[in-house]
Amino acid sequence: MGEARGAAPLVSCSGVAKFYGHKLVFKGVSLSVLPGEIWLLAGENGAGKSTLLRLLAGLARPDAGAVERGARAGGVGLLGHETFIYPHLSALDNLRFWAGLHGCAADHETLLAILSRVNLAAVAEEKAGRFSRGMAQRLALARVLLLSPELLLLDEPGTGLDVRSRTMLDREITVARDRGAGLVWVSHHVAHDLAMADKVLHLKGGRAAFCGPAAEFRPEAEGLC
């Protein structure tokens, strides 16, 4: 799709393995994410998808193999299972706090524009603690969008989102790719999301059961949907 041919990878891993105690999560996993490229991570619960994202983000170290990051410092945005919103702050003040933390421009109009992109402008002044799970997820996405990162690591970003919000998420993923960001996207709706991906990594039984072009991946044959 939009990957930059010949560009240096934003992140790559080679033969990585991870254990929790004596339990193997996965081994021998390799991938390389280019600018403008979307990787879809597929696999059942417990396959190690979230663990791999943490390795790519630099939040954990592999027990074997190597991870190399080409994205600039501060150029990685991670949307995990935790939203990390502050319930006593409004949506606007949550964004303002995160912007200050990362040294981003944080004028009122910029923050409102980000909230508008995730359909939260109408509740910008409401405390985030009153938000539904889907609204909290959208506010967490706004935090990532605010950073305009070179590399986006998305762990089931559609959690709690209704159809309208899911359309918004697909749009923002496309916008990020088109501006040259690389994305690694954990999905439990592989059949739906596959059309947006360039590459697929399917983790199964502690290994990469498939790693290659999205056009060659057959989720139904792998027991995924």
* 213 vs 3, residue with greater confidence: 213
79-105 pLDDT per residue, tens: 988 888 999 999 999 999 999 888 887
Query: Is 52's pLDDT higher than 60?
Result: yes
- Three-state DSSP state, 79: strand
pLDDT range class, residue 41, cuts 50, 70, 90 = very high
175-217 pLDDT per residue, tens: 999 999 999 999 878 888 999 999 999 999 999 999 999 999 9
pLDDT at 218: 87
- Residue 147, Ramachandran bin (φ over 0: left; ψ between -120 and 50: alpha; else beta): alpha
Each residue of 117-142: b (16+ CB within 10 Å) or e?
Answer: bbbbeebbeebbeebeebbbbbbbbb
Contact 137, 161 (CB under 8 A): yes
Query: Is 222's pLDDT higher than 70?
Result: no
CA separation for the pair 157, 191 (Å, rounded): 16
Superfamily of domain 11-217: P-loop containing nucleotide triphosphate hydrolases (3.40.50.300)
Could you state, in order of their start, the residue ranges of all structural domains in the chain? 11-217
116-159 pLDDT per residue, tens: 999 999 999 999 999 999 999 999 999 999 989 999 999 999 88
